[in-house]
């Protein structure tokens, strides 16, 4: 990895009225060897092999609900979802297949989950690493749905669980929860999306900048995989260059009704001096004309109706509420200024996924980031840090004859985070003997955080719409 080199400047996929880049802090190598990952550094944290991992109804796999702990409830009540909104009660009952739903409780100040039982006993706490999996007593379900916002179930919890389970979150009001659950219970049976017509929308502002990198490393490979598939082929749509506008995106969504949408662009992180406005618009996509793509404009003539949307943009899913990169970049740089301002917003969910999941006919799932993506790891030449896990999720997993659940589809991407965490630990052991160890440590941390901070909003057990039967044989995935 020595050929990686130590960059003089870093850029992020944020937009605050101008491109955001800046020089490294003179003590950046110190950042590289300080721990910024969430969770423990054991490689075993990666989701383990399962008998039938796509079948969340299998008791050896299992689906569980994560709720905030409520000390006002009895231990027996804590074993149930009695305090959850009614739609979530219905979803938990359905996902449990007639068995008692697995309900896990989060207590502030603890990095673990607690499971209570109707006889009044509980686990202190449930083992998240190396323990049994499934729905049996003492086991951790492989699919976990967090019900609540990051104010009661912090992002740190979801980031830890990303490394050991297929994890999603629903943070919606009760009316929106009702619409989402109604659609989920019938698996979007009346959806009008066209699974054979996925859409890529990719912004490129300048050759060689981070938007160009995102297009070259993510959007183009995904699109090429789609058009090479004999069943998808020319039905896939790519909006790039002058066509990567909010107006064209809205029109194409309404016209083509894609089952999967992939977008790469900057995410809005401004105005920095107006935090309320910044929080309201955080992570909104920035188009080729530097205009903000507003959810209400997308929804004016289109309904998500079961779409699965992946957005590679700064804070496209929200903000984690802490500057994980303090000490990496020069404190006088615009990168530090943006990261510090976003951190001050606290933990929040971005408006675009909330709008898509709250729509009259809601999306199935939205996958995005709660931090920026840096250009450094996208410029890798050694091949040791790649986005293969992401590309596999967006084609090989989503477009199977029977698509796999979104939580499982992104398991390799999150498994890579655990592996990179382990590589970072090895870098620390070598730092005294190898001059380049801090460079690789920084690269491994950035790449690992990018993966760990990719979050699923929606039930991780939902899967994209299945391809329609078509003429000809499908290309082998």
Q: What is the pLDDT of residues 246-263, one digit of tens each?
A: 999 999 999 999 999 999
How far is Cα 374 from Cα 210, in angstroms, rounded to an integer? 8
How far is Cα 133 from Cα 330, in angstroms, rounded to an integer? 44
φ, ψ of residue 249 in degrees (nearest 5): -60, -50
Beta bridge partners of 6: none
Q: Which element (helix H / strand E) includes 146?
A: strand 143-147
Strands (DSSP E) contained in 316-401 are: 318-319, 348-349, 365-369
Give the orientation angle of helix 411-430 with respect to helix 437-452, to 10 degrees. Answer: 160
Q: For the chain, give the percent of residues with pLDDT over 70.
A: 92
Beta-carbon count within 10 A of 468 CB: 12
Give the C-alpha distances (Å, rounded to integers) separating 67 from 94, 175, 364, 388.
Answer: 17, 19, 21, 33
What is the SS3 assignment for 323?
Answer: coil
- The residues, any chain, with a CB within 8 Å of residue 184's CB and separated by 6 or more, are 91, 364, 459, 462
Confidence of residue 161 (pLDDT cuts 50, 70, 90): very high
What is the SS3 assignment for 366?
Answer: strand
Evaluate if residue 276 carries a pLDDT over 90: yes
Q: Which of 105-109, 118-122, 421-425, 437-441 has the highest mean pLDDT?
A: 105-109
Looking at residue 477, its pLDDT comes to: 39
Choose among 321, 328, 338, 320: nearest CA to 439.
328
Lookup result for tokens 């066509």: 243
Beta-carbon count within 10 A of 271 CB: 13
Confidence of residue 145 (pLDDT cuts 50, 70, 90): very high
- The residues, any chain, with a CB within 8 Å of residue 180's CB and separated by 6 or more, are 87, 170, 172, 357, 358, 362, 458
Planar angle of CA 231, 234, 237, nearest 5 degrees: 115
Planar angle of CA 400, 450, 458, nearest 5 degrees: 50
Evaluate if residue 394 carries a pLDDT over 50: yes
Point out the least confidently predicted range of 24-38, 363-377, 411-425: 24-38
Asked if 104 contacts 153 with a C-beta cutoff of 8 angstroms, the reply is: no
Looking at residue 1, its pLDDT comes to: 34
Evaluate if residue 365 carries a pLDDT over 80: yes
Confidence of residue 383 (pLDDT cuts 50, 70, 90): very low
The residue-averaged pLDDT of 346-364 equals 98
Asked if 398 contacts 464 with a C-beta cutoff of 8 angstroms, the reply is: yes
Planar angle of CA 425, 384, 41, nearest 5 degrees: 20
C-alpha count within 13 angstroms, C-beta hemisphere, residue 305: 18
Evaluate if residue 432 carries a pLDDT over 80: no
Evaluate if residue 49 carries a pLDDT over 60: no
| pTM of this structure | 0.89
Looking at residue 385, its pLDDT comes to: 58
Burial of 363 (0-12, 13-18, 19+ CB in 10 A): buried
φ, ψ of residue 365 in degrees (nearest 5): -160, 155
How far is Cα 224 from Cα 227, in angstroms, rounded to an integer? 5
Point out the least confidently predicted range of 99-103, 291-295, 302-306: 99-103
Asked if 311 contacts 366 with a C-beta cutoff of 8 angstroms, the reply is: yes
Confidence of residue 14 (pLDDT cuts 50, 70, 90): confident
Q: For the chain, give the percent of residues with pLDDT over 90.
A: 68
Confidence of residue 46 (pLDDT cuts 50, 70, 90): very low
The residue-averaged pLDDT of 57-62 equals 92
Q: Which of 21-25, 173-177, 383-387 has the highest mean pLDDT?
A: 173-177
φ, ψ of residue 312 in degrees (nearest 5): -95, 90
Evaluate if residue 340 carries a pLDDT over 90: yes
- The residues, any chain, with a CB within 8 Å of residue 340's CB and separated by 6 or more, are 323, 326
Asked if 143 contacts 405 with a C-beta cutoff of 8 angstroms, the reply is: yes
Q: How far is CA 294 from the centre of its chain?
A: 20
Domain spans, the chain: 2-42+191-457, 50-185
Evaluate if residue 27 carries a pLDDT over 80: no
| Average pLDDT of every residue of the chain | 89
**Kind of pairing between the strands at 9-15 and 308-312:** unpaired
- What would the pLDDT profile of 440-477 be if each residue is shown by its tens digit? 888 889 889 999 999 999 999 999 999 887 643 444 33
- What would the pLDDT profile of 176-232 be if each residue is shown by its tens digit? 999 999 999 999 999 999 999 999 999 999 998 999 999 999 999 999 999 999 999
Asked if 177 contacts 429 with a C-beta cutoff of 8 angstroms, the reply is: no
How far is Cα 254 from Cα 258, in angstroms, rounded to an integer? 9
How far is Cα 423 from Cα 85, in angstroms, rounded to an integer? 42
Looking at residue 45, its pLDDT comes to: 44
């Amino acid at each position: 990895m020595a050929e990686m080199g130590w960059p003089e400047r870093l850029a992020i996929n944020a937009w605050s009225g101008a491109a955001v880049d800046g020089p490294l802090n003179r003590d950046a190598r110190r950042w590289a060897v300080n721990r910024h990952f969430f969770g423990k550094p054991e490689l075993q944290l990666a989701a383990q092999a399962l008998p039938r991992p796509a079948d969340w109804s299998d008791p050896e796999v299992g689906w569980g609900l994560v709720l905030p702990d409520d000390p006002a409830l009895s231990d027996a009540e804590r074993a149930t979802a009695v305090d959850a909104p009614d739609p979530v009660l219905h979803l938990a009952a359905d996902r449990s297949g007639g068995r008692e739903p697995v309900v896990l409780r989060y207590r502030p100040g603890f990095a673990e989950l607690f499971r209570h039982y109707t006889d009044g006993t509980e686990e202190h706490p449930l083992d998240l690493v190396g323990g049994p999996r499934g729905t049996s007593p003492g086991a951790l379900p492989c699919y976990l749905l967090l019900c609540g916002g990051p104010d009661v179930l912090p992002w740190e919890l979801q980031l830890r669980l990303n490394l050991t389970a297929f994890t999603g979150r629903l943070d919606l009001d009760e009316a929106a929860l009702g619409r989402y659950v109604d659609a989920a219970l019938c698996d979007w049976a009346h959806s009008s999306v066209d699974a054979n017509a996925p859409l890529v929308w990719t912004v490129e502002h300048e050759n060689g900048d981070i938007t160009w990198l995102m297009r070259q490393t993510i959007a183009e490979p995904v699109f090429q995989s789609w058009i090479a598939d004999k069943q998808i082929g020319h039905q896939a749509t790519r909006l790039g260059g002058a066509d990567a506008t909010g107006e064209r995106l809205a029109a194409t969504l309404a016209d083509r009704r894609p089952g999967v949408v992939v977008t790469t662009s900057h995410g809005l992180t401004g105005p920095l001096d107006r935090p309320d406005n910044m929080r309201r618009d955080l992570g909104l996509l920035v188009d080729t004309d530097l205009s903000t793509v507003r959810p209400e404009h997308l929804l004016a003539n289109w309904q998500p109706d079961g779409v699965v949307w992946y957005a590679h943009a700064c804070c496209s899913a929200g903000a984690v509420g802490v500057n994980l990169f303090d000490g990496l970049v020069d404190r006088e740089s615009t990168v530090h200024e943006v990261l510090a301002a976003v951190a001050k917003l606290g933990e929040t969910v971005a408006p675009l996924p909330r709008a898509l999941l709250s729509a009259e006919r809601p999306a199935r799932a939205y996958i995005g980031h709660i931090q920026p993506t840096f250009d450094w790891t996208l410029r890798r030449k050694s091949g040791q840090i790649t986005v293969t896990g992401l590309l596999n999720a967006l084609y090989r997993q989503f477009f199977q004859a029977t698509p796999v659940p979104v939580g499982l589809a992104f398991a390799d991407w999150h498994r890579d985070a655990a592996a990179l965490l382990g590589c970072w630990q090895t870098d620390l052991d070598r730092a005294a003997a190898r001059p380049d160890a801090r460079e690789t440590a920084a690269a491994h941390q950035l790449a690992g955080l990018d993966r760990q901070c990719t979050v699923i909003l929606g039930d991780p057990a939902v899967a994209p719409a299945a391809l329609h039967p078509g003429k000809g044989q499908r290309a082998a995935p």
